[in-house]
Amino acid sequence: MEDLIERAARDLVNSRYAIALTGAGMSTESGIPDFRGPSGVWTKDPDAEKRAYQTYHTFLANPKDYWEERLSGPSLLGDLEAIKPNPGHYALAELENEGIVKTVITQNVDNLHQRAGTKNVLDYHGNAFKLRCAQCNARFDSKEYELPKLREEGELPPLCRKCGGILKADIVHFREPIPSDVAQQSLEEAWKCDLMLICGTSAVVYPFAELPRLARQRKVEKESRTEAGLYAVGESPAVTIIELNAEPTPLTEDGISDYLIQGKTGQMLPKMVEALKGIRR
């Protein structure tokens, strides 16, 4: 295990453009339940999952009803503001600060990467603290809109201050397409990177799952010496994909990742940062 952490630290130091993909496993150590694990939100309440499949349809059919529903019940994720980033989040922020990790693409909506100090975050499935315009994709801090007050005054749904379009929660609901700007930027990052760190996600939910698979397909031309002493052009993978997960995943089994560092991200990432600093010193 220590060898693999050392190897990852070396790969990071040698990388030109590293990015990180993160998922629910990253935040469980902060006390946020995942969705499909043994004590996941959907596992414990399958009816809530069925209802969640209707949410986006409700928004499209009747945005006012959608907002009434959202403002009448408790949040599925509990009180996110009281939850704190864990050492894994801080370690990724440090890797950005060191100039190594250029972008974090996260499936989490909890805003913990931003709170730990990471600046360049793509919220692939949206951000629980933001609202998004269904028409122009502009995001707003939800605190800018006094939603309970709008509800009292019969002014729902909230409207975009840029274009007047209808606002929804920034969170991407079931059956809702990934916002086009984030989807496009994420593809570009996956296409550009030469190192991908996958933290706390089995990457089985599409289209997020395409990102490591797309990166894996990329090849670079490589010169190699043949028996005759000549150089021939061959192809080799353009990306090193390192997985940090509690258990092997389809990425491990399908050979998408180069190697798996098995454990908790909150423990492994800080160790990796420490090893990296040792190499750079």
Q: Which of residues 136-195 bind Zn ion (CB under 5 A)?
A: 136, 138, 160, 162-163, 165
Least separation in angstroms between CB 179 and Zn ion: 12
Handedness of CA 186, 191, 195, 199 (dihedral sign): positive
- Between 67 and 208, CB nearer to Zn ion: 67
**Per-residue binding letters, 201-240, with Zn ion (x by CB under 5 A):** ----------------------------------------
Interface with Zn ion (CB under 5 A), residue total 8
- The one catalytic residue in 89, 113, 125, 173 is 125
- Between 135 and 185, CB nearer to Zn ion: 135
- Between 13 and 159, CB nearer to Zn ion: 159
Distance of CA 259 to the CA centre of its chain: 20
**Per-residue binding letters, 113-142, with Zn ion (x by CB under 5 A):** --------------------x-xx-x----
Phi, psi for residue 221 in degrees, rounded to 5: -75, 140
**Amino acid residing at 34:** D
Least separation in angstroms between CB 80 and Zn ion: 25
Residue 236 zone, left/alpha/beta (φ > 0; ψ -120 to 50; rest) = beta
- Between 139 and 151, CB nearer to Zn ion: 139
d(CA 65, CA 209) in angstroms, rounded, equals 32
3-class secondary structure, 71: helix
**Per-residue binding letters, 64-83, with Zn ion (x by CB under 5 A):** --------------------
d(CA 72, CA 152) in angstroms, rounded, equals 12
Least separation in angstroms between CB 134 and Zn ion: 8
Could you confirm whether 125 is annotated as catalytic? yes
d(CA 5, CA 66) in angstroms, rounded, equals 46
DSSP code for 178: P
d(CA 104, CA 123) in angstroms, rounded, equals 8
d(CA 227, CA 2) in angstroms, rounded, equals 37
Greatest C-alpha distance within the chain: 82
- Between 52 and 138, CB nearer to Zn ion: 138
Least separation in angstroms between CB 203 and Zn ion: 31
**Interface ranges with Zn ion (CB under 5 A):** 133, 135-136, 138, 160, 162-163, 165
Q: Could you list the active site residues?
A: 125
